[in-house]
Chain A
């Protein structure tokens, strides 16, 4: 397995194995991925890109499904929590 990947979640450094998803990286720090329409905290439900509960901002792009996105070195992830 290749070297772990370092990235930032809400400005804080996180390290995960190569090939991990952004969802896995966020979960190292928090289970608050997004706020629902009525301001409830939400986290991934389905793990496979169907439920859209895992949407976060990745490198400036919003509404990215974290469970479908592999991490990359230096990635900036911001949750909506």
Chain B
């Protein structure tokens, strides 16, 4: 069926060594951004072995009859998959998706490179260009030689791809792949692969040199389309995720703000009542029956005490937040200590104060709930001024392992995504004022330190 002479294959098909190196690089590129199963050294070690396996496999496949060409391609795909699956923590689904991405990218980069190189060889420009396509190994073994232009092209391509990947990985939790993403990828891969290779395999006669460029062109173009398709899908998922996050964060903040306003109102009411009560006490004092009088006074005094604010940080908003959490703290037997002078935090908007302190205290309560021994449920808040910064330090004891995902903290709470947003929401608020938030987890203490520079007068 396939009547391709060996020499034609040599000229028209991308050299196997180009394909194998591209496949290796593409796989390695994605593994670099994955949650790895092993340490960096082991990962790199195994990757080097897999590079050798890739090259040897392709070199061996050259000796196969051309009928097995597609089967060979399939096997090389399986090799890539195994490489991803063995070195990352991902499931079969995610690994397959990554392999398809890597496969299409490797086809694209190899195809563009070889097209360019072929063009340069055929046109025989000048000595400088010849250097680019020249490779010292060529005379020894054509099938194992790589050119300078290949190195340049591959380096350039992956360098260009890097910022995209960084962006996705920074904002999404690794590869967020669902079954329909994989299906789209599979369909794209099959289409791309068959269109690009169909035209190549269906040539019945030894072709002329002018036709070669067209075949290259189709191949590169189809691979490019596949690449753009998959990446626009990723881009779409990325922005959808982003919007979702912003929505969630906003909703959370709205909630906290509402809560804040409710407690603010109730505190106002209490304050008003407090005045009334004082007035009442005056009246009672004039009561003649001594026993009655004393009983009334103690009763009223006690009722006042229970609604009195314990914590005065010199910032009304923070006071309201801490005092509104008091009930929840008491219910959960959490022992809180507060040393705070937040007088100078007035330049921070209410909504940001709510975001920082509500989230900090809520996170701490959630984590302290999981501490079995009530005596260990300790929470400390300190706000001080130091070296032109307001330092906010919040510490809570914890027992359960804390998951750390690419610098983002997710606690043991079941709804871990929600929790991550709490920290991010705080970070977001702090950054508005050029502040900085750091987290430390040593000695079973979860410590958040925030430093916000005081505005200069």
Tell whether A pairs with B. no
Tell me the B residues contacting A by CB distance below 8 Å.
none
